[in-house]
Protein backbone atom coordinates (compact mmCIF):
# COMPACT_ATOMS: atom_id res chain seq x y z
CA UNK A 1 0.00 0.00 0.00
CA UNK A 2 1.22 3.56 -0.63
CA UNK A 3 2.91 5.41 2.21
CA UNK A 4 0.44 7.78 3.82
CA UNK A 5 1.19 11.49 3.93
CA UNK A 6 -0.36 12.31 7.29
CA UNK A 7 -0.35 10.59 10.63
CA UNK A 8 -2.98 11.34 13.23
CA UNK A 9 -1.80 12.12 16.74
CA UNK A 10 -3.73 11.29 19.88
CA UNK A 11 -2.24 14.17 21.93
CA UNK A 12 0.42 13.19 24.45
CA UNK A 13 -0.22 9.49 23.76
CA UNK A 14 0.55 7.97 20.36
CA UNK A 15 0.29 8.36 16.62
CA UNK A 16 -1.76 6.36 14.14
CA UNK A 17 -0.52 5.67 10.62
CA UNK A 18 2.82 6.08 8.91
CA UNK A 19 3.59 2.37 9.00
CA UNK A 20 3.17 2.08 12.75
CA UNK A 21 1.56 -0.99 14.33
CA UNK A 22 -2.21 -0.89 14.17
CA UNK A 23 -4.13 0.96 16.85
CA UNK A 24 -7.33 -0.50 18.28
CA UNK A 25 -10.63 1.34 18.65
CA UNK A 26 -12.83 -0.88 20.80
CA UNK A 27 -15.59 -1.08 23.37
CA UNK A 28 -19.28 -1.92 23.66
CA UNK A 29 -21.51 -0.65 20.87
CA UNK A 30 -23.63 1.43 23.20
CA UNK A 31 -23.38 2.51 26.83
CA UNK A 32 -25.83 0.24 28.63
CA UNK A 33 -24.73 1.01 32.18
CA UNK A 34 -21.68 2.28 34.01
CA UNK A 35 -20.64 -1.05 35.54
CA UNK A 36 -20.39 -2.86 32.23
CA UNK A 37 -18.52 -0.03 30.54
CA UNK A 38 -15.92 0.10 33.31
CA UNK A 39 -15.55 -3.69 33.21
CA UNK A 40 -14.85 -3.73 29.48
CA UNK A 41 -12.53 -0.71 29.65
CA UNK A 42 -10.48 -2.28 32.43
CA UNK A 43 -10.16 -5.58 30.60
CA UNK A 44 -9.34 -4.04 27.23
CA UNK A 45 -6.70 -1.82 28.80
CA UNK A 46 -5.04 -4.82 30.45
CA UNK A 47 -5.09 -6.88 27.25
CA UNK A 48 -3.72 -4.04 25.12
CA UNK A 49 -1.09 -3.16 27.71
CA UNK A 50 0.09 -6.78 27.77
CA UNK A 51 0.24 -6.92 23.96
CA UNK A 52 1.63 -3.43 23.39
CA UNK A 53 -1.37 -2.20 21.39
CA UNK A 54 -2.45 1.44 21.49
CA UNK A 55 -6.12 1.56 22.50
CA UNK A 56 -8.86 4.16 22.04
CA UNK A 57 -11.95 3.24 24.03
CA UNK A 58 -15.24 3.54 22.16
CA UNK A 59 -18.86 3.41 23.20
CA UNK A 60 -21.90 5.43 22.11
CA UNK A 61 -24.16 7.43 24.39
CA UNK A 62 -26.91 7.20 21.77
CA UNK A 63 -27.60 4.89 18.85
CA UNK A 64 -29.87 7.09 16.77
CA UNK A 65 -30.12 4.83 13.73
CA UNK A 66 -31.85 1.81 15.27
CA UNK A 67 -33.88 -0.52 13.08
CA UNK A 68 -36.96 -0.38 15.30
CA UNK A 69 -38.52 2.41 17.32
CA UNK A 70 -38.63 -0.03 20.24
CA UNK A 71 -34.87 -0.72 20.23
CA UNK A 72 -32.94 0.76 23.19
CA UNK A 73 -30.70 3.66 22.23
CA UNK A 74 -28.45 4.19 25.24
CA UNK A 75 -28.20 6.42 28.30
CA UNK A 76 -28.26 9.82 26.56
CA UNK A 77 -25.56 12.43 26.09
CA UNK A 78 -25.23 13.86 29.61
CA UNK A 79 -25.05 10.51 31.40
CA UNK A 80 -22.99 8.99 28.60
CA UNK A 81 -20.37 11.70 28.73
CA UNK A 82 -20.17 11.37 32.51
CA UNK A 83 -19.45 7.65 32.16
CA UNK A 84 -16.93 8.19 29.35
CA UNK A 85 -15.15 10.83 31.46
CA UNK A 86 -14.95 8.28 34.29
CA UNK A 87 -13.37 5.74 31.91
CA UNK A 88 -10.89 8.38 30.81
CA UNK A 89 -10.01 9.35 34.37
CA UNK A 90 -9.90 5.91 36.00
CA UNK A 91 -8.10 4.05 33.23
CA UNK A 92 -6.17 6.86 31.52
CA UNK A 93 -7.60 5.94 28.13
CA UNK A 94 -8.33 8.17 25.14
CA UNK A 95 -12.01 8.16 24.20
CA UNK A 96 -14.00 8.24 20.96
CA UNK A 97 -17.78 8.39 20.59
CA UNK A 98 -20.39 9.00 17.91
CA UNK A 99 -22.05 12.32 17.20
CA UNK A 100 -25.29 12.45 15.24
CA UNK A 101 -26.13 16.15 15.12
CA UNK A 102 -24.06 19.28 14.61
CA UNK A 103 -24.90 20.80 18.00
CA UNK A 104 -23.50 17.76 19.81
CA UNK A 105 -19.95 18.20 18.51
CA UNK A 106 -18.72 21.02 20.74
CA UNK A 107 -19.94 19.65 24.11
CA UNK A 108 -18.86 16.10 23.26
CA UNK A 109 -15.41 17.36 22.24
CA UNK A 110 -14.93 18.75 25.75
CA UNK A 111 -14.75 15.15 27.03
CA UNK A 112 -13.51 12.92 24.23
CA UNK A 113 -10.28 12.77 22.26
CA UNK A 114 -11.92 11.91 18.94
CA UNK A 115 -15.33 12.17 17.31
CA UNK A 116 -16.86 9.53 15.10
CA UNK A 117 -19.27 10.18 12.23
CA UNK A 118 -21.69 7.25 11.72
CA UNK A 119 -21.80 5.75 8.25
CA UNK A 120 -25.34 6.89 7.48
CA UNK A 121 -24.27 10.49 8.19
CA UNK A 122 -20.98 10.54 6.31
CA UNK A 123 -22.27 12.95 3.64
CA UNK A 124 -23.90 15.39 6.08
CA UNK A 125 -21.90 18.54 5.39
CA UNK A 126 -22.95 20.52 8.46
CA UNK A 127 -22.13 17.62 10.77
CA UNK A 128 -18.74 17.06 9.16
CA UNK A 129 -17.87 20.74 9.42
CA UNK A 130 -19.01 21.02 13.04
CA UNK A 131 -16.97 17.95 13.99
CA UNK A 132 -13.91 19.24 12.16
CA UNK A 133 -14.20 22.66 13.76
CA UNK A 134 -13.61 21.13 17.20
CA UNK A 135 -10.02 20.41 16.13
CA UNK A 136 -10.34 16.85 17.42
CA UNK A 137 -9.56 13.70 15.47
CA UNK A 138 -12.58 12.82 13.34
CA UNK A 139 -13.09 9.21 12.30
CA UNK A 140 -15.56 9.13 9.41
CA UNK A 141 -17.23 5.85 8.58
CA UNK A 142 -17.74 5.43 4.85
CA UNK A 143 -21.43 5.07 4.11
CA UNK A 144 -22.60 1.67 2.93
CA UNK A 145 -23.89 3.49 -0.15
CA UNK A 146 -20.60 5.23 -1.00
CA UNK A 147 -17.66 4.27 -3.19
CA UNK A 148 -14.17 4.57 -1.70
CA UNK A 149 -13.31 7.54 -3.92
CA UNK A 150 -16.40 9.39 -2.65
CA UNK A 151 -14.46 9.92 0.58
CA UNK A 152 -12.32 12.53 -1.19
CA UNK A 153 -15.24 14.92 -0.83
CA UNK A 154 -15.51 14.14 2.88
CA UNK A 155 -11.84 14.98 3.29
CA UNK A 156 -12.21 18.25 1.42
CA UNK A 157 -15.10 19.33 3.62
CA UNK A 158 -13.11 18.84 6.81
CA UNK A 159 -9.91 20.27 5.42
CA UNK A 160 -11.85 23.41 4.44
CA UNK A 161 -12.02 24.42 8.13
CA UNK A 162 -8.38 23.55 8.77
CA UNK A 163 -8.71 20.11 10.33
CA UNK A 164 -6.26 17.48 9.11
CA UNK A 165 -6.86 15.08 12.01
CA UNK A 166 -8.88 12.76 9.79
CA UNK A 167 -9.30 9.01 9.70
CA UNK A 168 -11.38 7.12 7.15
CA UNK A 169 -13.23 4.01 8.26
CA UNK A 170 -14.41 1.12 6.11
CA UNK A 171 -17.46 -0.76 7.41
CA UNK A 172 -18.61 -2.61 4.33
CA UNK A 173 -20.92 -1.83 1.44
CA UNK A 174 -24.55 -2.75 0.88
CA UNK A 175 -24.90 -5.79 -1.35
CA UNK A 176 -28.49 -6.48 -2.17
CA UNK A 177 -30.91 -6.74 0.72
CA UNK A 178 -29.74 -7.27 4.32
CA UNK A 179 -26.16 -8.00 3.37
CA UNK A 180 -22.78 -6.27 3.64
CA UNK A 181 -19.57 -7.07 1.79
CA UNK A 182 -16.06 -5.63 2.03
CA UNK A 183 -13.98 -4.74 -0.99
CA UNK A 184 -10.38 -4.93 0.22
CA UNK A 185 -9.21 -2.87 -2.75
CA UNK A 186 -11.28 -0.01 -1.35
CA UNK A 187 -8.97 0.10 1.68
CA UNK A 188 -6.02 0.65 -0.63
CA UNK A 189 -7.95 3.31 -2.55
CA UNK A 190 -8.86 5.28 0.58
CA UNK A 191 -5.37 5.09 2.03
CA UNK A 192 -4.03 6.72 -1.14
CA UNK A 193 -5.84 9.92 -0.11
CA UNK A 194 -3.18 10.58 2.52
CA UNK A 195 -4.94 9.74 5.78
CA UNK A 196 -4.98 6.70 8.06
CA UNK A 197 -7.58 4.05 7.27
CA UNK A 198 -9.53 2.19 9.93
CA UNK A 199 -11.22 -1.14 9.32
CA UNK A 200 -14.46 -1.79 11.20
CA UNK A 201 -14.39 -5.54 11.67
CA UNK A 202 -17.68 -5.98 13.51
CA UNK A 203 -20.04 -3.77 11.51
CA UNK A 204 -18.67 -5.37 8.36
CA UNK A 205 -20.29 -8.67 9.34
CA UNK A 206 -23.71 -7.14 9.90
CA UNK A 207 -26.88 -8.18 8.15
CA UNK A 208 -28.82 -4.90 8.47
CA UNK A 209 -32.43 -5.51 9.54
CA UNK A 210 -31.66 -9.17 8.92
CA UNK A 211 -33.78 -10.27 11.88
CA UNK A 212 -36.74 -8.13 10.92
CA UNK A 213 -36.86 -5.61 13.77
CA UNK A 214 -33.15 -5.99 14.64
CA UNK A 215 -29.85 -6.31 12.83
CA UNK A 216 -28.34 -9.74 12.33
CA UNK A 217 -24.80 -10.78 11.55
CA UNK A 218 -22.03 -13.27 12.18
CA UNK A 219 -19.33 -12.36 14.69
CA UNK A 220 -17.34 -15.49 13.86
CA UNK A 221 -16.39 -13.92 10.54
CA UNK A 222 -15.09 -10.66 12.04
CA UNK A 223 -11.55 -11.93 12.82
CA UNK A 224 -11.13 -13.19 9.25
CA UNK A 225 -12.03 -9.82 7.76
CA UNK A 226 -9.85 -8.08 10.35
CA UNK A 227 -6.86 -10.17 9.34
CA UNK A 228 -7.52 -9.58 5.65
CA UNK A 229 -7.62 -5.82 6.22
CA UNK A 230 -4.37 -5.93 8.17
CA UNK A 231 -2.81 -7.90 5.33
CA UNK A 232 -3.36 -4.89 3.06
CA UNK A 233 -1.91 -2.51 5.63
CA UNK A 234 -4.70 -0.67 7.44
CA UNK A 235 -3.68 1.66 10.25
CA UNK A 236 -6.30 0.87 12.87
CA UNK A 237 -8.94 -1.72 13.70
CA UNK A 238 -12.39 -0.90 15.03
CA UNK A 239 -14.17 -3.67 16.94
CA UNK A 240 -17.17 -3.68 19.21
CA UNK A 241 -16.60 -5.80 22.32
CA UNK A 242 -19.11 -6.95 24.93
CA UNK A 243 -18.97 -9.36 27.90
CA UNK A 244 -22.16 -11.11 26.75
CA UNK A 245 -22.95 -10.01 23.19
CA UNK A 246 -26.15 -12.04 22.88
CA UNK A 247 -27.70 -9.82 25.55
CA UNK A 248 -26.34 -6.54 24.14
CA UNK A 249 -28.68 -3.61 23.46
CA UNK A 250 -27.44 -3.44 19.87
CA UNK A 251 -25.34 -5.42 17.39
CA UNK A 252 -25.85 -8.55 19.47
CA UNK A 253 -24.90 -10.78 16.54
CA UNK A 254 -21.74 -8.87 15.65
CA UNK A 255 -19.92 -7.78 18.80
CA UNK A 256 -16.88 -9.79 19.82
CA UNK A 257 -16.97 -11.65 23.11
CA UNK A 258 -14.62 -10.01 25.57
CA UNK A 259 -13.24 -13.44 26.47
CA UNK A 260 -12.01 -13.98 22.89
CA UNK A 261 -10.36 -10.63 22.27
CA UNK A 262 -6.85 -11.45 23.47
CA UNK A 263 -6.37 -14.39 21.10
CA UNK A 264 -7.92 -12.48 18.19
CA UNK A 265 -5.54 -9.57 18.73
CA UNK A 266 -2.50 -11.84 19.05
CA UNK A 267 -3.23 -13.29 15.63
CA UNK A 268 -3.89 -9.82 14.23
CA UNK A 269 -0.54 -8.58 15.51
CA UNK A 270 1.30 -11.38 13.73
CA UNK A 271 -0.25 -10.43 10.39
CA UNK A 272 0.31 -6.70 10.98
CA UNK A 273 3.98 -7.34 11.72
CA UNK A 274 4.47 -9.23 8.46
CA UNK A 275 2.66 -6.62 6.38
CA UNK A 276 4.53 -3.66 7.85
CA UNK A 277 7.88 -5.36 8.35
CA UNK A 278 7.76 -4.60 12.07
- pLDDT tens for 214-238 read 555 788 999 999 999 999 999 999 9
Q: Is 278 exposed, middle or buried (0-12, 13-18, 19+ CB in 10 A)?
A: exposed
Q: How far apart are CA 200 and CA 193, in angstroms?
A: 18
Q: Does residue 15 belong to any structural domain of this protein?
A: no
Domains in the chain: how many in total? 1
Q: How far is CA 226 from the centre of its chain?
A: 13
Is 6 contained in some domain? no
Query: Structural domain of residue 220, as residue ranges?
Result: 22-276
Task: Tell me what the mean pLDDT of segment 199-207 comes to.
Answer: 90
Q: Which pLDDT band, with edges at 50, 70 and 90, does 75 fall under?
A: confident
Residue 122 lies in a domain: yes
CATH number at residue 235: 3.20.20.70
Does residue 16 sit within a domain? no
Structural domain contains residue 37: yes
Residue 35's pLDDT is 96
Residue-wise pLDDT tens digits, 150-186 = 999 999 999 999 999 999 999 999 888 878 899 999 9
User: Is 4 a domain residue?
Assistant: no
Residue 1: inside a domain:
no
State the CB neighbour count (10 A cutoff) for residue 20: 17
Please tell me the pTM assigned to this model: 0.93
CA-CA distance, 93 to 85, in Å (whole number)? 10
3 assigned to some structural domain = no
**Packing angle between helix 77-91 and helix 34-51, nearest 10 degrees?**
40
C-beta of residue 243 within 8 angstroms of C-beta of residue 217: no
251 with 27: CB under 8 angstroms?
no
Amino acid sequence: MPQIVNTVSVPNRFEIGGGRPFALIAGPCVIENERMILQVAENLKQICSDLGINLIFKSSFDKANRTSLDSPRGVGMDEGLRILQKVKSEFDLPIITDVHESWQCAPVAEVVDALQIPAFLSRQTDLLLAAAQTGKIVNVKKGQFMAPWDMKQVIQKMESVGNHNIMLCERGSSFGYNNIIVDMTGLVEMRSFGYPVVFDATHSVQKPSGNGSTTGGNREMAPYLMNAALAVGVDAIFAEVHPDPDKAFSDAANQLRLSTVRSILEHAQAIDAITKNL
